[in-house]
Amino acid sequence: MTKRKNLIEKLGVYIECKEQIAPLAARILATLILTGKQGTTFETLVCELGASKSTISTHLTTLQAAQRITYYTKTGDRKKYFILIPDAMIHSMTVMLKNWNSEKNLHLEIMEYKKEINESLSKDSDEIFDLEFHTDYLEFLEQASASIEKLKMKLTEKHTNN
């Protein structure tokens, strides 16, 4: 197996698990990630992924409907060249940040509840909650969110300038 095929398979498995999508759809995305801006044709996907035309077609339609991929055509060429939606990574980061923010708020609520319980207990009680995990996890979420936000801004600027 070539290095490209191995990487498509490895990345495909990762995308399949992470995004809970069909194995072939994940491998189509992996192929498009490794192909870049020039895109790839329907015929190339059929050959490279070894799937039937109808199966590839079904997954391309699904990925387009989910706004994960799009296509362009070239003058004088009847083929469609499939590519990733240019701002898909930015959208993915926005969703990630939203989820992390929800998680942060939930941890803050849990931590507040545990503090109230701790205040009602005697200092030497075995039932006192240890809040260190929540504090450390909230700090991690803050740092990770700041890093993703910085990367998202950089990608947004780059996308806007192109």
**pLDDT confidence of residue 36:** 86
DSSP designation for 69: E
Whether residues 71 and 101 share a domain: the answer is no
Query: For residues 105 and 63, what is the distance between their CA atoms, to the nearest angstrom?
Result: 32
Residues 6 or more apart whose CB falls under 8 angstroms from that of 152 comprise: 90, 93, 94, 97
Task: Give the tens place of pLDDT for each residue, 60-118.
Answer: 999 999 989 999 999 999 999 999 987 888 888 998 999 999 999 999 999 999 999 99
Q: Which residue, 84, 111, 133, sits at the end of a domain?
A: 84
Which region among 22-31, 104-113, 116-125 has the lowest average model confidence (pLDDT)? 116-125
User: Is residue 126's pLDDT more than 90?
Assistant: no
Residue 12: Cβ-neighbour burial (10 angstroms; 0-12, 13-18, 19+): buried
Q: Structure tokens of 121?
A: 């207990």
Whether residues 47 and 96 share a domain: the answer is no
Whether residues 76 and 52 share a domain: the answer is yes
pLDDT class of 1 with cuts at 50, 70, 90: low
Whether residues 18 and 75 share a domain: the answer is yes
**pLDDT confidence of residue 121:** 87
Q: How many domains are there within the chain?
A: 2
Q: Residue 17 sits in a domain of what CATH number?
A: 1.10.10.10
Backbone φ and ψ for 49, nearest 5 degrees, come out as -95, -10
Give the chain's mean pLDDT: 93
Positive or negative, the CA dihedral 150, 155, 158, 160 is negative
**pLDDT confidence of residue 111:** 95
pTM over 0.75: no
Q: For residue 41, how many other CB atoms are within 10 A of its CB?
A: 14
Q: Which residue, 54, 84, 114, sits at the end of a domain?
A: 84
Residue numbers of the domain that contains 17: 3-84
